[in-house]
Structure 1
Amino acid sequence: MTLLTPIVRAFRSELLKCRRWSMVAGTGIMLVVSAFFAYLTFHQITSGVTGQEVDPLTHAFSTSLGLITVVGQARSFIIVVSLIMITVNLAAEWSQGTWRNLLVREPRRLPLLVGKMLALLLFVLGSMTLALVASSALILVTAGAQGVQTAAWTSVSGISAWFAFFGNEVLCLIGICLLGMLIAILTRSTGIAVGVALAYVLVPEGIIAMVWQEGSRWFPIRTFNFLPGSVFPADVGPIPPQGYTAALLTALVWMAVIVAGSFIAFRWQDINA
């Protein structure tokens, strides 16, 4: 109980800060843009657009995986927005001198970090859930209005696929956010943290994959992305070449390593601002 008390206090305090306009705006942007991507993909498929990128989506459209294939096109944007939310909120605590003030009241650093991160994760995952549910509802309503058959999407297989996609997307986003936490702790600067986080997520592992295909599959970002990708058809999602179980275990190991590294770095940092 003694250990949980500062965690709960930090958690509740951070939840109050999540009501700031910047956080609410992040959720709104995630919601609107995700719905736009889903609708744009739906429109391309139903209007008969062809091409190397659209054809696999068209093939999956009429199957039980059709809905998640359409909604899943906003995944990268959701990841980017979530990563920015995490890194900005954590790194700003150094820029604004908040950590020093908080540690005067609560000298135990790790419970403070755990409570804060749990609140941020809850907010980000809630935003992602809202975006995916709203996008799915929009596509179902639009499909019904245009006479598109959605029986396969709402079948037992289709609903199971949606929840499997959602569960794996939660795991992926948790891994991404934990990585953002580590980067924010190491850089202690809002601008640098966001820049480094986005640069790493968007660039290096893709370049490494071009020259070292075998080894790159075990890197954190690719491993996290393999989890929701495993639910998509083989020609649509990043199917884990090492198998889903191996990808899941690797992702969990990476999460544990990232958390341990974050705790060690935060525990021994000199916080003087």
Structure 2
Amino acid sequence: MISVIRAFRNEVLKFRRWSVLAVAGAMLVVSTFIAYLTFHQIASGSTGREMTGLIAAFNTPQGLVSIIGQARSVIIAIALVMVTANLAAEWSQGTLRNLLICEPRRLRWLAGKMLALVLFVLLSMLLTLLISGTFILVIAQGQGIQTDAWTSPEGLQVFLAFLGNEVLCLIGVSALGMLIAVLTRSVAAAVGIALAYMLVVEGIIAVVLPQVTQWFPGRVFNTIVGTAVPLVGPTPLQGYPAALGAALLWIVGFVVVAAVVFPRQDINA
């Protein structure tokens, strides 16, 4: 356990790098901008089929979450890239060999590193949601729009349900990114494969086999959030309990496979 904590602390120190902070900053800025655009469209009276649900929910307890939740795809993509690139870089930059000299018990090092990465991803997501939500509240009140429903006990309950499912979603995405990084051992390949799978592959297969892809990891992680707030993601066709169970199984599966493969890999650099 001490070696896991040591690896965790060493990894946390790396988050002070400007490149890492820049990625978290990009998540915050882009997500807030998307939330503002969504709010502006609703407040300015824009119409359209894609706006119907958002307009209907605007003055309800789900109003704020439905607005800031429109940036979920950005948050998920950045989180996936953050974890995958950071872990795969240990091979690409040739630093893994030195790290394993200091901590030869590979799984303990991997556990500490992943704990740090997941914590950073979750804190970045939480900060993004809080800042973008506060920004929208301030803008709405400045325009004289009633926000009592958003900050009511029911509105807070909706936000917490959304946040809890989003945490599970990002943990699942991080586990997927970890497995892809361990298997590819290359930043370019890991990031490319991870994004292609999440953004393209599952979507293409879903056109042909929708009943099958509802159990795929990307779909499962995405739809559990839609249960709390349907406007920020699709609702799981198989029901929330089944989708939640599948998400947990995928996470465990990713961790187990990575734990089996990683100790058996040759470290050449």
**Of residues 11, 30, 35 in structure 2, which corresponds to 1:33?**
30
**Of residues 181, 197, 202 in structure 2, which corresponds to 1:205?**
202
2:255 alignment partner in structure 1: 259
1:160 alignment partner in structure 2: 157
What do the CA deviations read for 1:47-100 (whole angstroms, capped 9, x no partner)? 111112112111111111111000000100011111111111111100111111
User: What is the alpha-carbon distance in structure 1 between the residues aligned to residue 94 and residue 181 of structure 2?
Assistant: 14
Taking only aligned residues, the RMSD between alpha carbons, in angstroms, comes to: 0.9
Structure 1 counterpart of 2:241, which letter? T
User: What is the alpha-carbon distance in structure 2 between the residues aligned to residue 26 and residue 137 of structure 1?
Assistant: 21
Give 1:237 deviation, angstroms: 2.8
Give 1:132 deviation, angstroms: 0.3
User: What is the alpha-carbon distance in structure 2 between the residues aligned to residue 80 and residue 19 of structure 1?
Assistant: 21
User: What is the alpha-carbon distance in structure 2 between the residues aligned to residue 271 and residue 230 of structure 1?
Assistant: 43
User: What is the alpha-carbon distance in structure 2 between the residues aligned to residue 210 and residue 238 of structure 1?
Assistant: 15
How many residues align? The count is: 269
Equivalent residues in 2 for 1:64-143 (5 A)?
64-143=61-140
2:183 alignment partner in structure 1: 186
**Of residues 141, 144, 151 in structure 2, which corresponds to 1:144?**
141
1:7 alignment partner in structure 2: 4
User: What is the alpha-carbon distance in structure 2 between the residues aligned to residue 50 and residue 237 of structure 1?
Assistant: 20
Secondary structure in structure 1 of the residue aligned to 2:268? coil
TM-score of the superposition, structure 2-length normalised? 0.98
Secondary structure in structure 2 of the residue aligned to 1:203? helix
Give 1:236 deviation, angstroms: 5.5
The answer on 1:49 being equivalent to 2:43 is no
Structure 2 counterpart of 1:135, which letter? S
Higher helix proportion = 2
CA contact (8 A) 1:175 1:255 kept: yes
The structure 1 segments of at least 4 consecutive aligned residues displaced by more than 4 Å after TM superposition are none
User: What is the alpha-carbon distance in structure 2 between the residues aligned to residue 206 and residue 96 of structure 1?
Assistant: 33
Give 1:171 deviation, angstroms: 0.3
CA contact (8 A) 1:56 1:236 kept: no
Structure 1 counterpart of 2:266, which letter? D
User: What is the alpha-carbon distance in structure 1 between the residues aligned to residue 117 and residue 16 of structure 2?
Assistant: 11
Secondary structure in structure 2 of the residue aligned to 1:74? helix
Identity, in percent, stands at 59
User: What is the alpha-carbon distance in structure 1 between the residues aligned to residue 22 and residue 220 of structure 2?
Assistant: 29
Equivalent residues in 2 for 1:195-234 (5 A)?
195-233=192-230
User: What is the alpha-carbon distance in structure 1 between the residues aligned to residue 175 and residue 233 of structure 2?
Assistant: 23
User: What is the alpha-carbon distance in structure 1 between the residues aligned to residue 155 and residue 30 of structure 2?
Assistant: 24
2:245 alignment partner in structure 1: 249
